[in-house]
Structure 1
Amino acid sequence: MKNKFAYSKADLDTFDQIMNEYGWIVYEDALDVDFVDEINNSLDAAYEIRRQIQIKNGIGENMKGTLHHLVERELFTFKFLERKYCADQIRHFLNGNYILNSLGAVINTKDGSPYVQNIHRDIRSYTGDYKVMIQLMIILDDFTLDNGATFLLSGSHKQENKPDDEYFFKNAERAIAKKGSIVVFDANVWHATGKNNTDKPRRALTMAFTRPFFKQQLDYPRAIGYEFGKGLNENLRQVLGYNSRTPENLDEYYQPVEKRMYQPGQG
């Protein structure tokens, strides 16, 4: 089943048109299969680490199959960001420099009912025409109706109030997409993960990019290390948030421009 929102390529005018009207678009064949398999092969171990913490902290019940903050030196993170998938679209949508707000994953299984199956949007405050956040969903297994392809309510990025369940599931469309595709959507779009009725996992990366002044869900520069960041190229330093940090003390605050933690051009 071909998704009517799917493109192999789309110029920025087409991107604007589709995003303005519907709020989401699919780019097919964005990632090569070998890289997708590399990502998939890393998820089980990463999930076990996070799952133990979820259970220890008493939030395991509705977190099953969810992995948050996969920004680690040993993972695929840097390779993914260096390839600049949809970078032109992100920069265009956010009107300039941007940073990674969050990078996680969902392993949707038949016995799971995580919170992402609830109707939600990924930005807490409705921002209307002022674009602050854009989402990328990296398709790691074919998304089908049977295995829980995500519901997206087209046009709901223009709607502040949450739709009721009956209206949403009657009118939402499904992100039918092949492995290696990228679904790009406005963070204001109301959506929900579908129920997986198959015996195989349905996996995806979930990413949010924001204008640099928007607070990250996790302090990635501090988590990865300030010293480690000095060895990264300028693109990775920008996207990971090294150019838009908050000073901790007066000594960090009172610095010449080139050494400031919040650099020029960050909005």
Structure 2
Amino acid sequence: MKNKFKYSDADLAVFDQVMDEYGWIIYEDALDDAFIDEIRDSLVPAYDVRRKIQIANGIGDNMNGTLHHLVERERFSLKFLERKYCADQMTHFLKGNYIINSLGAVINLKDEKPYVQNIHRDIRSFTGDFKVMIQMMITLDEFTAENGSTFFLSGSHKKDDKPEADFFYENADRANTKKGSIILFDSNLWHAAGKNYTDATRRTLTMAFTKPFFKQQLDYPRFLGYEFGEGLSDDLRQILGYKSRVPENLNEYYQPVEKRMYQPGQG
């Protein structure tokens, strides 16, 4: 595939060219096996918590294998974000600082039909050349056509209209790649998770990063706690959105620049 590269060989000129033509790019050998195992192990208790809530709220039928909002004080998420995988590419794509919009996972099991298998894009409104969001997937297992590798309709990030299903599946490419790969793609790109026909589990992290002014799916600074954020690194505070908060009262609004909820350099 012309859009698959080694993570160590990342080049922004190549990134630009591939993202413009295909709308997605793969970087293999990005995460080490030990970290992958740590992440996979943490998904088990995390899924149990979320699955109970999905079922209790009556939305369990098409949510099988989906985990949302894994940004937590414990487990792997802060360690993952601190490592700033593909930070140069995302900063380049969004033309400035970025924050996490969502961080979740998909556990693709045989015979399951979660909503992510529907043809969709990950941003509600088509933004064309104005890039406000970029998606990242981390393959926690090898991606194959048999176990449900993602379908990407290459070039569809330049078109607003949703493709017909027959056209999509006849023309879409598959993201077949190694465990530990990073897949970056334009949020305007039409795609769909594949069906898993094997007895093995196919797991992936799914996340979105945006320009800082774009509203997060969950208010991560408030969820984690403002005091907790004071002990984080400057880079992590940026990614989590601590520097692009919205004041809730006049006292929070009328502050010196260095204490403002929405800091300079956030777009």
* TM-score, normalisation: structure 1: 0.98
- The reply to whether residue 28 of structure 1 matches residue 14 of structure 2 is no
Deviation digits for residues 70-128 of structure 1, max 9, x if unmatched?
A: 00011101111111100000000000000000000000000310000000000000000
* Number of residue pairs the alignment of both structures matches: 265
Secondary structure (helix, strand or coil) at the match of 1:49 reads: helix
What is the SS of the residue equivalent to 1:116? helix
Closer, same or farther: CA 45–54 of 1 in aligned 2, 3 Å: same
Indicate whether 1:240 and 2:240 are aligned: yes
2:82 corresponds to 1:79 = no
For 2:159 and 2:166, how far apart are their aligned partners in 1? Answer: 16
Q: Report the Cα distance in structure 2 between the residues aligned to 1:114 and 1:162, rounded to whole angstroms.
A: 19
Query: How far apart, CA to CA, are the structure 2 residues paired with 1:213 and 1:4?
Result: 33
8 Å contact 2:91–2:98 — kept in the other structure?
yes
3-state SS, counterpart of residue 50 of structure 1:
helix
Aligned partner of residue 180 in structure 1, secondary structure: coil
Identify the residue that residue 47 of structure 1 maps to in structure 2.
Answer: 47
The answer for the alignment partner of 2:165 in structure 1 is 165
Q: Which amino acid aligns with 1:110?
A: K
Q: Which residue number corresponds to residue 225 of structure 1?
A: 225
| Structure 1 gap segments, 5+ residues each | none
Task: Report the Cα distance in structure 1 between the residues aligned to 2:139 and 2:187, rounded to whole angstroms.
Answer: 17
2:5 aligned residue: 7
For 1:47-196, list aligned pairs within 5 A.
47-196=47-196
Q: Percent identity?
A: 72
C-alpha distance in structure 1 between counterparts of 2:10 and 2:206, whole Å: 21
- SS in structure 1 of the partner of residue 106 of structure 2: strand
Deviating beyond 3 angstroms after TM superposition, the runs of 4 or more aligned structure 1 residues are none
Task: Report the counterpart of residue 201 of structure 1 in structure 2.
Answer: 201
Match of 1:249 in 2: 249
Tell me which amino acid in the other structure corresponds to 1:188.
Answer: N
Quick check: 2:4–2:26 contact (8 Å CA) kept in 1?
yes
The one-letter code matched in structure 2 to 1:153 is L
Post-superposition CA distance 1:115-143 (Å, at most 9, x none): 00000000000000000000000000000
How many Å separate the matches in 1 of 2:53 and 2:248? Answer: 28
